[in-house]
Amino acid sequence: MTDVQSAAIAAPVRKSDRIGSLDILRGVAVFGILLMNISAFGLVWQAYGNPNAAGGADGINLLLFKIMNVGFEGTMRGLFSMLFGAGIFLMTERMENAGAGLTTAEIHFRRMTWLMIFGFIHWSLLLWTGEILFAYSLCGLVLFAFRKIAPGRQFALGIAALLVAAFMLNQDYHEIVDLSAEVEATETQVASGQSIAPEQQAVLDKWAEERSHVIPTEETNAMFNGWHEGSYWSAVTGMWEFNVDFQWKELPFWLLFDMMPFMLIGMALLKWDVLTAGRGTGFYAGMAIAGYAIGIPLGLYEYGLLAAGDFGPVAGAEAGRTYQFSRLAMVAGHLGLILTVVKLGLMRWLQQGLAAAGQMALTNYIGQTLICTLLFYGFGFGLYGELERYQLYLVVATIAAVEMVFSVIWLRSFRFGPLEWVWRSLTYWKPQPMQKGGSGPVPGQMLGAT
């Protein structure tokens, strides 16, 4: 095969070959992720899962927290993971069908390597601790080996991994309960004036650490405030250890039991023509009804546990026992609802905006971080801790509207978004044609598939 033939086979996907439903779903996911992450951008870290931590714990603020916790917690990440897995299969299948051979593997692993680098920059220099590109790239390296297996097996593997995750979370619950009992006994001993052994002090220290993950302390407040009040470089250096710990300490669990299961399920759903809107409207409506019928009651049950336990460690661990089941059901519900809207042709103006944003998912995802960094850090507008929860969601709505309009306008003149162009040019070791009307194939752009 000549170099010219290899380049043609390995070129990014043509615009005419794009799957519109995937772009719309990706647009929903990229804004849904911001909807969940905005509290961690604008408030103390613990406010993500605890309304009492910051942002308002009553009225409209509490109601919005409850809606997000029941309806969206983990679901947008799950949807994004499904689309990432589907994108891996789409890209590699297209190249292999065109005769790319081993070039397919070369392109794929190069793409994932660059995505890993982008992710590292995102959490280390752009200051977003919760970024997912780094972990997604590692998943992509592994999932290349699973792309060819039958969809039924992919789906079964994904469900099996989620069941293992549920088992592990159940074990975590029992460990937290045991730890809480030890702490209660030790505190009773301290209150009576008795001395405690070093191992008992270690138990108290461990409990304090567990509580600090969900309940703010003077120490954690000082740490978060310090990051946001100083210079850019002081934020980078101050957050380094925390970011490394967050990105690496729990990484094996996130990779094996949170992200990759949904990526495998996404591959299966693509092969079954579910993600492509290839099924009937009734199928998607039924999917929405079934998903919400399971997911909403489970989510309300979990929220009840959290509220009854003041959003503490034991309550969080107890709610986590059914988390994977409620999350999967809600993802199915969201998928069914969105694709029902697509099949019925409703709100086409919104579909157009979401599809454009989905085509520029990488640009919009990183763009959201840049905007939020400017808004909430002291070297920007310094709004950290200043807004209530409902105001933060208005910020999300504004960012989403701006990014959709920007994406629609940008794609009228250009073939892909700015960061998509950088990613593809690095992947193919050649600058890609950017403006429409130029020479070469007309590429599309999606996070997870060229």
Q: For 184-220, what is each residue's pLDDT tens digit? A: 999 898 888 888 888 989 999 999 999 999 999 999 9
Find tokens 């020479």 and name the residue: 439
Q: pLDDT band at residue 7, thresholds of 50, 70 and 90?
A: very low
> Nearest to residue 132, comparing CAs of 77, 180, 186, 176?
77
Please provide the DSSP assignment of 327-371 as one string: HHHHHHHHHHHHHHHHHHT--HHHHHHHHHHHHTHHHHHHHHHHH
Residue 434 in 3-state DSSP?
coil
How large is the average pLDDT for residues 227-239? 95
Note whether 392 and 381 are within 8 A (CB): no
Residue 1 has pLDDT above 90, yes or no: no
Residue 49 has pLDDT above 50, yes or no: yes
**Whole-number Å distance between alpha carbons of 430 and 100:** 17
Note whether 147 and 264 are within 8 A (CB): no
Residue 8 has pLDDT above 70, yes or no: no
Sign of torsion over alpha carbons 300, 304, 305, 311: positive
- The share of the chain scoring above pLDDT 90, in percent, equals 82
For 326, counting Cβ atoms within 10 Å of its Cβ (0-12 exposed, 13-18 middle, 19+ buried), the class is: buried
Q: pLDDT band at residue 102, thresholds of 50, 70 and 90?
A: confident
- pLDDT on residue 437: 65
The DSSP symbol for 433 reads: P
> Nearest to residue 411, comparing CAs of 352, 342, 349?
352
- pLDDT on residue 400: 98
Note whether 57 and 386 are within 8 A (CB): no
Residue 247 has pLDDT above 50, yes or no: yes
**Whole-number Å distance between alpha carbons of 78 and 69:** 14
Single-letter amino acid, residue 314? V
State pLDDT tens for residues 66-84: 999 999 999 999 999 999 9
Higher pLDDT: 249 or 127? It is 127
Residue 442 has pLDDT above 90, yes or no: no
Higher pLDDT: 214 or 450? It is 214
**Whole-number Å distance between alpha carbons of 36 and 409:** 27
Mean pLDDT of the chain: 91
- pLDDT on residue 13: 44
Structure tokens at 27: 């647009």
How large is the average pLDDT for residues 271-298? 96
Q: pLDDT band at residue 18, thresholds of 50, 70 and 90?
A: low
State pLDDT tens for residues 335-372: 999 999 999 999 999 999 999 999 999 999 999 999 99
State pLDDT tens for residues 417-436: 999 999 999 999 999 888 88
- pLDDT on residue 195: 86
Residue 14 in 3-state DSSP?
strand
pTM recorded for the entire structure:
0.90
Q: pLDDT band at residue 11, thresholds of 50, 70 and 90?
A: very low
Alpha helices in 72-130 (DSSP H): 75-97, 103-124
